[in-house]
Structure 1
Amino acid sequence: MSWSAARLERLREVLSEAVADGDVPGLVALVHRHGETRALALGSLELGGGAPMRRDTIFRIASMTKPVTAVAALVLVEECRLRLDDPVDDLLPELAAPRVLREPDGPLADTVPAERPITLRDLLTSRLGTGVVPAGWPIGRAVAEAGLTVGPDGPAFGPDEWIRRLGALPLVRQPGATWMYHVGADLTGVLIARATGRPFEEFLRERIFDPLGIRDTGFHLPPDRLSRLAVPYAADPRTGVLARRPEPREWDRPPLFPSGAGGPGLLSTADDCLAFCRMLLNKGRTEDGGRILSRATVELMTADHLTPAQKAGNELFLGAGGWGLGLAVGVRGNELAVGPGRFGWTGGLGTEAYTDPAEGLIGVLLTQRALASPVPPRVFQDFWTLAYAAMDD
């Protein structure tokens, strides 16, 4: 047996307490190991009751979109339609010959030429030279004025206009110098669409979702599935009280910008997330024996690609871990929930999925509470502590 029944019951009790205490309105949790999956659906789609959470409830998974985008890019790498270390200038001419700020917090006019072009490897490792920046810096103000501020709801314009505005701004760092969150994955989504001459979601569906039996994941929903979408909430930064989070659009229509990074990212279910994670755990194989990626590519994707200097200053995002191609890679830490080689990522609207190949363990936890301040709900740490504790060997 892979699981201890008594400790799985303790997992249920603790997650139920989080719902009863109001930390989250509801949740869906899956743990999978050695072919055995255990699932919990607790609470409701919205505060105050109403429709209960179900195993097939649909959530906005936000930045959990990033590993999916990376896999799509690596599919094209394996076909030699893209190459990791080739410049992206031919498909993304807006990024050709970029200028770089002499100082990250300096004036926008004080720039130097980039020391080298931006590559796909830079995009996938978030080392292209731009990303999340402090709002008070001149570049931060310019990003806001251009409508490029990073967030879960995305810009009010399409990919071509987004990259045009982005390319008009200088890079913050030299390409390859340091890890900067988020923007590289959005650029990868644009790159994939241009390389294939097809809408980004269409390529994801044909090459990843359909082969994995993923049916409920996409950038929008058919009208008959809208009732399964969890209502989003965020905590008041002063009081911690949950309030409904305004949605930017109706989810039965595609977004103007189908984000490769997560803003707005994919909608998905726990079982769809599990199918994607099982493919990576199985070194690129599908359950029916087919392949999405080769073993060698999955191993490259899930290795840490950052040097200590490239990680410096990014502890808020990376913790004690590192970054592979489109996802976080864990290292042995002091907490039970971080194993060596554990990989995956978290969605800022309240979701996460991680895989621990050393233990053969996958965990998926989906909630509809955004993980911003004042304090992320403890249910995420408790979930991983109890998932590891429930392994019966």
Structure 2
Amino acid sequence: MNGIFEQGLTPNLPEPTPEPDEWMRRLGALPLMHHPGERWQYHISNDLLGVLVARVTGQTFETFLRERIFEPLGMKETSFHVSADKIDRLPPLYAPDPQTWGVSCVGRGQGGRHSQPPAFHGGGGGLCSTADDYHAYFQMLLNHGMHGAKRILSRSAVQLMTTNRHTPEQQAARSVMARDNVHVSFGQGQHGGWGSAWRYASTGVTTRPSVSSVGTAEHSTYADPNNQLTGILLTQVGLSAPDSARLIHDFWTTIYQANED
């Protein structure tokens, strides 16, 4: 894992990321972390899929997403960067400073990394969006891939996305990782499993199944097909502080406790 950070292969972090061909070259120079199928590793596979989509379609990954997903769903404010006339709407991101024990700004709007198009369009994160756009996407998932009368994703694709694909051994290893890594869950672990690129989760004491988002740790978004419920929680503090992890957990527990059905 350290090699991934040292080679600058984490597009959703503030460090500059190389363009896709160089990214692939650096990734190819690293050994496998585990034998195929032995363990599950968060994130890097989705970035690789983004590069493959771009190569197969002959488009940038963002162009592919815009034509296939964003425009059909009316997601007009979702992209890998924010234009100059809208950048004032992008709030700063804060995180604890281990040197001063205070809070520092680690992500800015104007002059920040989202104010310019990135060299790498990460399949695992990096998009900027709004609550309305995000809701449109999750509502499409609740509708089994449909948006009004238009099909965006096939029903089978949505089913693959929303079905846990972990083996019991992978599930156990993931739970250990979540408990032991302070920046993942602050000892709370993770509920549920993972489907094809999405987390299949259960939340709080209710253990209701739902589909949660993957990407930046500053938000939590669920789509629950059993209750036809979508919820979006947006914060300005990264998951590098325990309050964020607890807030996300409490938010979903409260939602389900308030659900009369």
TM tier, shorter chain?
A: 0.7 to 0.9
User: Deviation per CA, 1:221-270, whole angstroms, max 9, x where unpaired?
Assistant: 221111111111112347764321155845332101111112xx100111
Work out whether 1:158 is the aligned partner of 2:19: yes
Q: Distance in 2 between matches of 1:149 and 1:268?
A: 20
Work out whether 1:352 is the aligned partner of 2:220: yes
Equivalent position of 2:181 in the other structure: none
Task: Give the 3-state SS of the residue equivalent to 1:378 in structure 2.
Answer: helix
For structure 2, the 5+ residue unaligned runs are 179-183
Letter paired with 1:391:
N
Say how many residue pairs are matched. Answer: 248
Equivalent position of 1:326 in the other structure: 197
Q: CA RMSD in A?
A: 2.3
Work out whether 1:312 is the aligned partner of 2:180: no
Equivalent position of 1:119 in the other structure: none
Equivalent position of 1:259 in the other structure: 122
Pairing 1:382-393 to 2, within 5 Å after superposition? 382-393=250-261
Q: Distance in 1 between matches of 2:10 and 2:158?
A: 31
TM-score (norm 2): 0.86
Letter paired with 1:323:
W
On the 8 A contact 1:240/1:374 being kept in 2, the answer is: no
Q: CA deviation at 1:278?
A: 0.3
Q: Distance in 2 between matches of 1:390 and 1:282?
A: 23
Letter paired with 2:82:
L
For structure 1, the 5+ residue unaligned runs are 1-132, 134-139
Equivalent position of 1:335 in the other structure: 205
Q: CA 1:359/1:157 → structure 2, altered by over 3 Å: closer, same or farther?
A: same
Task: Give the 3-state SS of the residue equivalent to 1:244 in structure 2.
Answer: strand
Greater C-alpha radius of gyration? 1
Letter paired with 2:158:
V
Equivalent position of 2:7 in the other structure: 146
Considering fraction of residues, name the structure with more helix: 2
Percentage of pairs with the same residue: 44
User: Deviation per CA, 1:48-90, whole angstroms, max 9, x where unpaired?
Assistant: xxxxxxxxxxxxxxxxxxxxxxxxxxxxxxxxxxxxxxxxxxx
Q: Distance in 2 between matches of 1:163 and 1:232?
A: 29
Q: CA 1:377/1:236 → structure 2, altered by over 3 Å: closer, same or farther?
A: farther
Q: Distance in 2 between matches of 1:176 and 1:242?
A: 40
Q: Distance in 1 between matches of 2:204 and 2:246?
A: 17
TM-score (norm 1): 0.59
Q: Distance in 1 between matches of 2:245 and 2:191?
A: 20
Q: CA deviation at 1:319?
A: 1.8
